[in-house]
């Protein structure tokens, strides 16, 4: 019988905090990737005697991340030095938090394919500084220190994930939770969110985990899932072929879709951690915690649940609407002015999102404000315009300053609900289609509605889509019989 394998995955996520200045100095964090070291000073360049001082905003943002990931915040914690020599580390050590992180014991709940929840533990979050960047160009190498001492938090998960799908979901939910707090732009593409994965395999049901391998250089969400799948397959094959898994660090090669050894255990560095003597201990007060708790937005998970409950929309729709706080706010404002949640949801998810996608825009730049879209939806709801005309109105409104009501009036788009006017059109269509009318008379009950539909289409066409469909139908049936 073939052996069943189980994989064990833990993630380390680095998130760059979106503060205006770096973590220890006043250098602007708004650096570009120019090769010139324009965003540097003696502190972030590690000049002897320069003293770091913690940016208060960094701690505020980090605490918000702790709240968002359901962590306990430690009122006291400290910074430590992680010593290693590498060209892009100007001080030859990194300031991080070793044994006393500021946040611990959090969690994120993912959804399994069978619909049940699974809780993934967040072991800890700590604050640390980023390194500079080495740039290799042909024979030459350059070092850019603009990124040196940019504020980061590192979020370490428990080894609770058992597949690439679970890891992918966890990573996405962490991103969503952080994005809502507006402490980071959480973009893997831009490097403000980075992820390393610890992966091992064991026989299904085994108690002890196998030897774990750390995989780095995961630059996209899909890349994380692919690298994990590749690494699980590689480890199982290695063991089944009689080999052993070495405790090592591997790099994901996105182009070749394989992982390659970066350094083995023997090459692992001894970081000689010790407390950072140039920084005081971090002390967080109750007042600070209360203030930050008050500033926390409703979480995405809570918002989705509320949308499903209050507005009776599907979980999927609630999820899409909650993708950004701004879109969710827009939706709620449209509902206030339209008084029709379902129709508001449909219009935003189809028409509005389509326009935003086509023009690569976000809801903040959308030309129809929530009140105006609410007005369009109200016009449909009241039967003043058909949904077909509403789409035309929407297209016009995209580049028109007039109110939807004014456009409907001035462009004569209102639905015709005048009995005599509709009757006139019906009589004309009936007179011009003797064949269809004859057809209707001989048709059985099952076929009659189809014939009526054909005639109705002609009346609608004659009215340029403006006739009230229900009235057309009623009058047609009356005339035919």
> Where does this chain bind Zn ion (CB under 5 A)?
25, 27, 41, 43-44
Closer by beta carbon to Zn ion, 29 or else 74: 29
**Residue 91 CB, nearest distance to Zn ion (Å)?**
12
Task: Look up tokens 């994380």; give the residue.
Answer: 224
Rounded to whole angstroms, the Cα distance separating 81 from 363 reads 44
**Residue 22 CB, nearest distance to Zn ion (Å)?**
5
User: Nearest CA to 6 among 251, 213, 235, 224?
Assistant: 235
Q: CA dihedral in degrees (405, 412, 352, 181; nearest 10)?
A: -10
Closer by beta carbon to Zn ion, 46 or else 105: 46
**Residue 28 CB, nearest distance to Zn ion (Å)?**
9
Rounded to whole angstroms, the Cα distance separating 159 from 209 reads 10
Q: Judge contact between 77 and 280, C-beta under 8 A.
A: no
* 202, β-bridge pairs: 6
**Residue 43 CB, nearest distance to Zn ion (Å)?**
5
Q: What is the DSSP letter of 16?
A: E
**Residue 241 CB, nearest distance to Zn ion (Å)?**
51
421-426 contact pairs (CB < 8 A, 24+): 422/459, 422/463, 422/467, 422/468, 422/471, 422/472, 422/475, 423/475, 425/459, 425/462, 425/463, 425/467, 425/472, 426/459, 426/472, 426/475, 426/476, 426/479
Closer by beta carbon to Zn ion, 52 or else 404: 52
Closer by beta carbon to Zn ion, 22 or else 124: 22
Q: Are strands 248-253 and 213-218 parallel, antiparallel or unpaired?
A: parallel
**How many other C-beta atoms can be found within 10 angstroms of the C-beta atom of residue 257?**
12
Closer by beta carbon to Zn ion, 41 or else 477: 41
**Residue 50 CB, nearest distance to Zn ion (Å)?**
9
Closer by beta carbon to Zn ion, 41 or else 301: 41
Q: Judge contact between 288 and 85, C-beta under 8 A.
A: no
Rounded to whole angstroms, the Cα distance separating 308 from 318 reads 6
**Residue 138 CB, nearest distance to Zn ion (Å)?**
29
Closer by beta carbon to Zn ion, 28 or else 247: 28
Closer by beta carbon to Zn ion, 66 or else 132: 132
Q: What is the DSSP letter of 443?
A: S
**Residue 77 CB, nearest distance to Zn ion (Å)?**
23
């Amino acid at each position: 019988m073939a052996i069943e394998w189980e994989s064990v995955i833990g993630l380390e996520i680095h998130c760059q905090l979106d503060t205006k200045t770096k973590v220890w100095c006043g250098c602007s964090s708004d650096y570009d990737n120019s090769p010139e070291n324009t965003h540097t000073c003696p502190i972030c360049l590690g000049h002897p005697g320069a003293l770091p001082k913690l940016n208060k905003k960094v701690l505020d943002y980090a605490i918000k991340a702790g709240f968002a990931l359901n962590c306990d915040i430690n009122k006291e914690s400290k910074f430590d030095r992680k010593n290693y020599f590498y060209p892009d580390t100007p001080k030859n050590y990194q300031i991080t938090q070793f044994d006393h992180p500021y946040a611990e014991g959090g969690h994120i709940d993912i959804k399994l394919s069978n619909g049940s929840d699974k809780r993934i533990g967040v072991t800890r979050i700590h604050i640390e500084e980023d390194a500079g960047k080495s740039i290799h160009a042909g024979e030459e190498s350059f070092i850019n220190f603009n990124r040196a001492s940019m504020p980061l938090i590192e979020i370490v998960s428990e080894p609770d994930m058992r597949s690439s799908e679970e890891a992918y979901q966890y990573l996405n939910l962490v991103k969503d939770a952080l994005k809502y707090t507006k402490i980071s732009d959480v973009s893997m593409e831009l490097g403000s969110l980075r992820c390393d994965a610890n992966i091992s395999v064991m026989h299904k049901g085994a108690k002890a985990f196998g030897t774990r391998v750390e995989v780095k250089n995961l630059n996209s969400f899909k890349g994380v899932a692919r690298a994990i799948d590749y690494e699980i397959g590689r480890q199982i094959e290695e063991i089944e072929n009689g080999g052993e898994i070495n405790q090592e660090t591997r790099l994901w090669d996105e182009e070749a879709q394989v992982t390659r050894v970066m350094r083995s255990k023997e090459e692992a560095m001894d970081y000689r951690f010790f407390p950072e003597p140039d920084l005081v201990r971090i002390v967080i007060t109750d007042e600070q915690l209360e203030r930050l708790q008050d500033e926390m937005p409703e979480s995405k998970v809570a918002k989705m649940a509320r949308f499903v409950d209050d507005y009776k929309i599907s979980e999927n729709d609630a999820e899409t609407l909650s993708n950004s706080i701004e879109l969710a706010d827009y939706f709620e404002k449209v509902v206030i002015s339209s008084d029709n949640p379902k129709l508001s949801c449909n219009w935003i998810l189809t028409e509005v999102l389509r326009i935003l996608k086509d023009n690569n825009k976000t809801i903040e730049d959308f030309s129809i404000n929530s009140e105006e879209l609410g007005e369009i939806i109200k016009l449909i709801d009241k039967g003043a315009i058909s949904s077909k005309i509403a789409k035309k109105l929407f297209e016009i409104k995209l580049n028109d300053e007039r109110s939807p009501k004014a456009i409907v009036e001035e462009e004569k788009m209102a639905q015709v609900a005048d009995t005599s006017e509709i009757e006139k059109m019906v009589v004309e269509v009936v007179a011009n289609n003797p064949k269809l009318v004859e057809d209707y008379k001989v048709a059985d009950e099952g076929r009659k509605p189809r014939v009526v539909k054909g005639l109705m289409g002609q009346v609608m066409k004659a009215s340029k889509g403006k006739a009230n469909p229900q009235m057309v139908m009623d009058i047609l049936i009356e005339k035919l019989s």
